[in-house]
């Protein structure tokens, strides 16, 4: 694979970038991304690039194309002031955050990526495309299921091809703006395509697509290889054309029926999206839903999903899966289910198996995740890890924060990552958002607590929205009434949770939280009202009472 970064001239808007990109991609064997912000074309080909043909292609659209010396060529960047060479395996959120801070601190960086696209899971096959799909599904659902009188409820025909084209374009734009343009404009970062493995704790062997290998001996190394869908050993599954989340996000058609195996956020988000896009969805969960969270959240979400027509079977084990005549057969203890498609969403496993970590002295847990401390250090002194390949929470904002702190520590600093307050969101509708401790976690920590739950029928904005599905639950330390946790099930739970996170971060009591001014009408007022329930009956308060 040949990669060339080039400057595109004559562009005046994002449409120009898409036009130039289309012209380049029309050439045989060429894959290109054009970023308007940086005026950069990232062009890849399995053969030698023909500069004359490339220039002619964009010239036909009114643009120019000029070569430039960029990362990804054979030219090595100059040493930073520190003289340190940092190797980063991976190119996702943790990798880029770490690379930028390492460069800022004077290091030069070699970023090693085995895939044909940089950016990792989040922008390519995770957060970004999934949220686009979820929002599209929500709009489709509301057209025929909104609660407002006097407005027609008419389902419109679905153009999946157009949806998918829009999704892919936005993913390409964000990858170009947030990842590829950084490589193009940061000469201290060299992108090295290939698969990395450790020869020992000091040496990396990088093998490219042609099979050619080279060795690196960096001063420091960050492992940021992410995670991939975990496939359970269900008899017969491997012989079937099942989906993982990646195939589900980019499927060309909407199946008439879909069985989703799993009960975590990926399973439930995609299950609801496909139901709202026209599939008949069944969810199979080994236990309950969202079993790592407060049970009331999973129970409330189950009720909401079933209210939309999704069949949810909990405490269910799949014994065997077969596929014949374009149908899946799923054998359960209670009988056999059939569906046009099956989606496996049973968790993710760290991408560490092929790194030869034993040779480097890097310790892992039983699931293959790299053990790290609060400085992102592994058991090998000069090797660090961040993101989903490590034992930290599998959240991209945690990965980025960890990557930044790893870079600080690799370049001589001393930075810790505090994971005591990590807000998390499941982007279903209603959404699930949590931060801090729930009742069970608080008891396990030896803390005596007081808990209050406020159903959304007591929140004015929820009433105005004609959507009172859900609740706000607050956990406070007994005696001090200091807020230590929040669990929210609500349409806007993801937009609400940071209020609770900040209250916990700064040690607020529920009394102080209840006395704080909140705008009216907003959903986050539900947090204020929930805080007031520790001392009063909010159902007896006047409208927007303080």
- Set 1, 6, 111, 122: catalytic member: 122
Residue 221 catalytic?
no
Of 373, 383, 364, the residue nearest 199 (C-alpha): 383
- Set 16, 389, 496, 508: catalytic member: 16
**What angle is formed at CA 275 by the lines to CA 270 and CA 281, rounded to 5 degrees?**
85
DSSP 450: E
Q: At what angle do helices 51-59 and 14-25 cross, to 10 degrees?
A: 130
Residue 127 catalytic?
yes
The runs of H, that is alpha helices, within 62-126 are: 93-104, 120-125
- Set 1, 6, 11, 303: catalytic member: 11
The Cα–Cα gap between 389 and 381 comes to 18
Residue 16 catalytic?
yes
- Set 127, 163, 303, 447: catalytic member: 127
Rg of the chain over Cα atoms, rounded to whole angstroms, equals 25
The Cα–Cα gap between 92 and 123 comes to 8
User: Residue 466 corresponds to which tokens in the numbers above?
Assistant: 């004609």
For 421, residues 6+ apart whose C-beta sits below 8 A from its C-beta are: 435, 436, 501, 504, 505
Sign (positive/negative) of CA torsion 247, 31, 112, 185? Answer: negative
Residue 11 catalytic?
yes
Note the residue count of the chain: 546
- Set 6, 364, 384, 543: catalytic member: 543
- Set 6, 63, 133, 392: catalytic member: 63
Pairing of strands 341-344, 257-261: parallel
Question: 489: alpha, beta or left, given left = phi > 0 and alpha = psi -120 to 50?
Answer: beta
Residue 350 · residue 370 · CB < 8 Å: yes
Residue 543 catalytic?
yes
For 162, residues 6+ apart whose C-beta sits below 8 A from its C-beta are: none
- Set 1, 6, 13, 389: catalytic member: 13
User: Residue 44 corresponds to which tokens in the numbers above?
Assistant: 């890849």
**Residue found by looking up tokens 């890849």 in the block:** 44
Residues annotated catalytic, as ranges: 11, 13, 16, 63, 122, 127, 543-544
């Amino acid at each position: 694979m040949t990669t060339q970064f080039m400057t595109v001239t004559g562009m005046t808007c994002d449409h120009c970038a898409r036009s130039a990109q289309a012209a380049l991609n029309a050439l045989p064997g060429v894959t290109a991304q054009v970023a308007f912000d940086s005026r950069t074309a990232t062009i890849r080909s399995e053969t030698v690039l023909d500069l004359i043909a490339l220039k002619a292609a964009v010239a036909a659209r009114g643009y120019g194309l000029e070569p430039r010396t960029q990362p990804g060529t054979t030219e090595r960047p100059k040493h930073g002031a520190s003289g340190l060479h940092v190797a980063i395996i991976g190119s996702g959120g943790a990798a880029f955050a770490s690379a930028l801070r390492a460069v800022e601190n004077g290091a030069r960086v070699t970023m090693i990526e085995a895939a044909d696209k940089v950016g990792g899971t989040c922008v390519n096959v995770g957060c970004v495309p999934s949220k686009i799909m979820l929002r599209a599904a929500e709009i489709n659902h509301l057209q025929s299921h909104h609660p407002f009188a006097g407005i027609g409820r008419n389902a419109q025909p679905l153009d999946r091809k157009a949806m998918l084209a829009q999704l892919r374009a936005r993913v390409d734009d964000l990858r170009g703006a947030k990842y590829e343009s950084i490589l193009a404009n940061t000469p201290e970062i060299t992108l090295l395509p290939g698969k990395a493995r450790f020869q020992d704790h000091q040496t990396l062997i990088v093998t490219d697509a042609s099979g050619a290998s080279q060795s690196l001996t960096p001063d420091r190394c960050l492992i940021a290889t992410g995670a991939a869908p975990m496939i359970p050993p269900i008899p017969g599954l491997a012989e079937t054309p099942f989906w993982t989340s990646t195939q589900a996000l980019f499927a060309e058609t909407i199946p008439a029926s879909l069985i989703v195996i799993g009960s975590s956020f990926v399973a439930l988000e995609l299950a609801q999206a496909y139901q709202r896009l026209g599939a008949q969805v069944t969810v199979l969960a080994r236990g309950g839903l969202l079993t790592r969270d407060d049970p009331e959240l999973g129970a409330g979400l189950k009720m909401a999903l079933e209210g939309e027509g999704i069949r949810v079977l909990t405490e269910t084990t799949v014994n065997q899966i077969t596929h014949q005549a374009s149908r899946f057969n799923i054998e359960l203890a209670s009988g056999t289910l059939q569906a046009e498609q099956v989606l496996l969403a049973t968790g993710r496993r760290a991408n560490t198996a092929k790194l030869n970590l034993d040779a480097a002295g890097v310790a892992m847990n039983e699931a293959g995740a790299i053990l790290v401390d609060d400085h992102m250090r592994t058991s090998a002194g000069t090797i660090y890890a961040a993101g989903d390949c490590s034992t930290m929470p599998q959240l991209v904002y945690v990965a980025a924060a960890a990557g930044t702190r790893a870079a600080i520590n690799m370049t001589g600093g001393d930075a810790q990552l505090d994971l005591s307050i990590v807000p998390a969101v499941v982007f279903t509708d209603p959404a699930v958002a949590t931060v801090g401790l729930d009742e069970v976690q608080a008891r396990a920590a030896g803390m005596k607590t007081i808990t209050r739950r406020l159903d959304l029928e007591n929140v004015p904005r929820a009433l105005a929205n004609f959507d009172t599905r859900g609740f706000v639950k607050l956990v406070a330390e007994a005696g001090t009434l200091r807020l230590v946790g929040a669990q929210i099930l609500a349409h806007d739970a993801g937009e609400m949770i940071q209020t609770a996170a900040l209250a916990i971060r700064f040690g607020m009591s529920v009394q102080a939280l209840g006395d704080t001014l909140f705008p009216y009408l907003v959903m986050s007022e539900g947090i204020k009202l929930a805080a007031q329930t520790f001392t009063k009956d909010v159902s007896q308060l006047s409208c927007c009472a303080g």
